[in-house]
Amino acid sequence: MEQWSWPPSYDESYRPEIAQRFWFPRRETMPAEQRDEAILERIRQVMEYAWNNAPFYRRKWDEAGIHPSSIRSLEDFEKVPVVRKEELRADQAEHEPFGSYLAAPPSEVKHINGTSGTTGRPTAFGINERDWRSVANAHARVMWAMGIRPDDTVLVASPLSLYWGSWGAYIGAERLGARVFPFGAGTPGQTARTVRWMKQMGVTVFYGTPSYALHLAEVARDEGFDPAGLGLRALFFSGEPGASVPAIRSRIVDAFDAQVYDSGSMAEVSPWMHLGAGANEPGVLCWQDLVYTEVCDPGTYQRVDYGCEGTPVYTTLERTSQPMIRLLSGDLTRWEAPSADRGRTYPFLPRGIYGRIDDMFTVRGENVYPSAIDDVVMAADGYGGEHRIVISRESAMDTLAVQVEYKDVPESSVDSWAGGIADRLRSVLGIGARVVPVEHQTFDRTEFKARRVVDDRDLLRRLENTP
Report the residue from 57, 272, 346, 348 that binds ligand 8LH according to the rule CB under 6 A.
Answer: 272
Residues in contact with ligand 8LH, counted by CB under 6 A, come to a total of 20
- Piece in contact with ligand 8LH (CB under 6 A), picked from 38-46, 185-193, 233-241, 402-410: 233-241
66 vs 275, beta carbon nearer ligand 8LH: 275
Binders in 317-336 for ligand 8LH, by CB under 6 A: 329, 331
Measured distance CA(23)–CA(16) in Å, rounded: 6
Measured distance CA(221)–CA(227) in Å, rounded: 7
Residue 61 · residue 46 · CB < 8 Å: no
331 vs 447, beta carbon nearer ligand 8LH: 331
Is 241 a binder of ligand 8LH (CB under 6 A)? Answer: yes
Backbone φ and ψ for 449, nearest 5 degrees, come out as -95, 135
Question: In the 8-state DSSP scheme, what is residue 303?
Answer: B
239 vs 382, beta carbon nearer ligand 8LH: 239
Q: Burial, 204: exposed, middle or buried (Cβ in 10 Å; 0-12, 13-18, 19+)?
A: buried
Question: In the 8-state DSSP scheme, what is residue 104?
Answer: S
282 vs 382, beta carbon nearer ligand 8LH: 282
Number of residues in the chain: 467
Question: In the 8-state DSSP scheme, what is residue 396?
Answer: T
Residue 256 · residue 274 · CB < 8 Å: no
Is 212 a binder of ligand 8LH (CB under 6 A)? Answer: no
For the bound state, the minimum distance from the C-beta of residue 413 to ligand 8LH, rounded and expressed in Å, comes to: 34
For the bound state, the minimum distance from the C-beta of residue 213 to ligand 8LH, rounded and expressed in Å, comes to: 13
Report the residue from 113, 116, 128, 446 that binds ligand 8LH according to the rule CB under 6 A.
Answer: 116
Is 184 a binder of ligand 8LH (CB under 6 A)? Answer: no
Nearest partner of 334 among 268, 267, 284, 374, judged by Cα: 284
Is 267 a binder of ligand 8LH (CB under 6 A)? Answer: yes
Contacts of 433 (CB under 8 A, 6+ apart): 363, 373, 400, 401, 402, 422, 425, 426
8 vs 370, beta carbon nearer ligand 8LH: 370
Measured distance CA(67)–CA(118) in Å, rounded: 36
Contact letters for ligand 8LH, residues 399-428 (x by CB under 6 A): ------------------------------
Amino acid at 341: D
270 vs 320, beta carbon nearer ligand 8LH: 270
Within 10 angstroms of residue 261's Cβ, the number of other Cβ atoms is 29
Please give the residue whose beta carbon sits closest to ligand 8LH in the complex.
264
Report the residue from 68, 264, 384, 385 that binds ligand 8LH according to the rule CB under 6 A.
Answer: 264
Is 262 a binder of ligand 8LH (CB under 6 A)? Answer: yes
Report the residue from 238, 293, 316, 322 that binds ligand 8LH according to the rule CB under 6 A.
Answer: 238
Helix axes 190-201, 210-222, angle to 10 degrees: 80
Would you call 443 helix, strand, or coil by DSSP? Answer: coil
For the bound state, the minimum distance from the C-beta of residue 354 to ligand 8LH, rounded and expressed in Å, comes to: 7
Measured distance CA(60)–CA(269) in Å, rounded: 19
Is 311 a binder of ligand 8LH (CB under 6 A)? Answer: no
Report the residue from 133, 356, 393, 434 that binds ligand 8LH according to the rule CB under 6 A.
Answer: 356
- Piece in contact with ligand 8LH (CB under 6 A), picked from 5-13, 50-58, 260-268, 414-422: 260-268
Is 374 a binder of ligand 8LH (CB under 6 A)? Answer: no
Nearest partner of 285 among 276, 296, 272, judged by Cα: 276
Report the residue from 99, 165, 283, 310 that binds ligand 8LH according to the rule CB under 6 A.
Answer: 165
Would you call 63 helix, strand, or coil by DSSP? Answer: helix
Specify which residues 334 forms β-bridges with.
Answer: 309
Backbone φ and ψ for 391, nearest 5 degrees, come out as -105, 125
71 vs 235, beta carbon nearer ligand 8LH: 235
Within 10 angstroms of residue 24's Cβ, the number of other Cβ atoms is 19
Report the residue from 208, 239, 271, 276 that binds ligand 8LH according to the rule CB under 6 A.
Answer: 239
Residue 88 · residue 99 · CB < 8 Å: yes
- Piece in contact with ligand 8LH (CB under 6 A), picked from 221-229, 314-322, 350-358, 374-382: 350-358
For the bound state, the minimum distance from the C-beta of residue 237 to ligand 8LH, rounded and expressed in Å, comes to: 6
Residue 228 · residue 256 · CB < 8 Å: yes
For the bound state, the minimum distance from the C-beta of residue 61 to ligand 8LH, rounded and expressed in Å, comes to: 24
For the bound state, the minimum distance from the C-beta of residue 116 to ligand 8LH, rounded and expressed in Å, comes to: 4
Residue 272 · residue 266 · CB < 8 Å: yes
For the bound state, the minimum distance from the C-beta of residue 276 to ligand 8LH, rounded and expressed in Å, comes to: 9
Helix axes 370-378, 414-429, angle to 10 degrees: 140
Contact set with ligand 8LH (CB under 6 A): 115-116, 164-165, 238-241, 262-267, 272, 329, 331, 352-353, 356
